[in-house]
Amino acid sequence: MDDLKNKYLTAIADAADENALEELRVQAVGKKGEVSLKMRELGKMTPEERQVAGPALNALKDEINSALAAKKAGLADAALDERLRTECLDVTLPARTERRGTIHPISQVTEEVTAIFADMGFAVAEGPQLESDWFNFDALNIPGHHPARAEMDTFYTHRAEGDERPPHVLRTHTSPVQIRSMQAQGAPIRVIAPGRVYRADYDQTHTPMFHQVEGLAIDKDISMANLKWVLEEFVKAFFEVDDVELRFRASHFPFTEPSAEVDIRCSWEGGTVKVGEGDDWLEVLGSGMVHPKVLEAANIDPNEYQGFAFGVGIDRIAMLKYGIPDLRAFFDSDLRWLRHYGFSALDVPTLHGGLSW
């Protein structure tokens, strides 16, 4: 009986799966199993023998049955663990390429612009959207009485009554980041500063919040020629063509001298905008040589250093490049618009891999 017990308990412990276990059950305690056959022999025994063998056989049968049950439960647990291990969802895996969400054209274009200027050695700088009027205006050679303050349709914050300090403003351009980055880094410096800006204006090509990217390059031997080359390289790379027509127009900004505005030839025929053809010009950027007073405000000696600055309308060039006719739709959060104009989250714009798909 001990031999039987050892044989089955060992076999049960070693059983690899439920099939092996069932076979063992049949072999041991099934109708024609070894233990059952032994039980049938009880009838041939003397009553004394039966008294000993009967309970012992019953105990053996119970022991084998409970070993079978325990092993069965163990196998089921192991199978469940294995399923959990192989069927689990790894949330750190990259998203599927099915387009669930998309990258907004503004984010896409900001990435494209950043990739192009990074290739020309420009680092990315940042500044606050709620800005002091000193950074937004005074330091940029726009004193209190200057008409540019009114022209820009500035949003001012409220001061508590009796607070004489000038109010903060929602920055009207990214130019205050010129001052902040020159103060922080000194010269020489080469940065771009993309971000949100605000002006009270609303029509097909204006929204109260929009985006600019500021450019700034200061060194000892920088001229207007460098500005023109950088802008031409940028426009060609951005529109991914060789024949974009640029128009440099003499202009005026308080913080640059001389100043130039740059327009891109385009057409608005049929309500959609096309670059490089037509009789219209879309103003996309302001630029010029940084005014000596601006350098001084940022603690840079204008006798030693000079350079150029520019400010590009990100929304404008996004409309031009991707043929989007109305700026206001950019910020409506209409899912149909976002799906139509959005970009795949997995396609990061690079100069070598391609800017846009």
Which parts of this chain interact with ligand PHE (CB under 6 A)? 173, 175, 253, 256, 286-288, 309-311
Summarize the annotated binding site as residue ranges: 257
195-221 in b/e form (b: 16+ CB < 10 A) is: bebbbeeeeebbbeebbbbbbbbbeee
Measured CA to CA, the distance from residue 357 to residue 348 in angstroms comes to 10
Burial of 22 (0-12, 13-18, 19+ CB in 10 A): middle
Question: What is the closest distance, in whole angstroms, from the C-beta atom of residue 253 to ligand PHE in the complex?
Answer: 4
- What tokens does 185 get? 């880094």
Tell me if 262 sits within 8 A of 290, measured CB to CB. no
71 versus 173: smaller Cβ distance to ligand PHE? 173
Measured CA to CA, the distance from residue 353 to residue 238 in angstroms comes to 14
283 versus 326: smaller Cβ distance to ligand PHE? 283
Q: For residue 132, how many other CB atoms are within 10 A of its CB? A: 17
Tell me if 314 sits within 8 A of 212, measured CB to CB. yes
Measured CA to CA, the distance from residue 85 to residue 79 in angstroms comes to 10
105 versus 311: smaller Cβ distance to ligand PHE? 311
Summarize the annotated binding site for Mg(2+) as residue ranges: 257
For residue 188, cis peptide bond before it (omega within 30 degrees of 0): yes
CA 188 to chain centre: 31
For the chain, give the number of residues: 357
233 versus 257: smaller Cβ distance to ligand PHE? 257
The sign of the dihedral angle between the CA atoms of 102, 103, 106, 112 is negative
Question: What is the closest distance, in whole angstroms, from the C-beta atom of residue 88 to ligand PHE in the complex?
Answer: 52
Question: What is the closest distance, in whole angstroms, from the C-beta atom of residue 324 to ligand PHE in the complex?
Answer: 21
Query: Shortest CA distance to 126 belongs to which of 55, 65, 197, 75?
Result: 197
108 versus 172: smaller Cβ distance to ligand PHE? 172
Question: What is the closest distance, in whole angstroms, from the C-beta atom of residue 220 to ligand PHE in the complex?
Answer: 20
Question: What is the closest distance, in whole angstroms, from the C-beta atom of residue 311 to ligand PHE in the complex?
Answer: 3
Tell me if 194 sits within 8 A of 211, measured CB to CB. yes
Question: What is the closest distance, in whole angstroms, from the C-beta atom of residue 290 to ligand PHE in the complex?
Answer: 8
33 versus 195: smaller Cβ distance to ligand PHE? 195
Question: What is the closest distance, in whole angstroms, from the C-beta atom of residue 95 to ligand PHE in the complex?
Answer: 37
Burial of 304 (0-12, 13-18, 19+ CB in 10 A): exposed
108 versus 287: smaller Cβ distance to ligand PHE? 287
For residue 258, cis peptide bond before it (omega within 30 degrees of 0): yes
Question: What is the closest distance, in whole angstroms, from the C-beta atom of residue 331 to ligand PHE in the complex?
Answer: 19
Measured CA to CA, the distance from residue 53 to residue 45 in angstroms comes to 9
22 versus 283: smaller Cβ distance to ligand PHE? 283
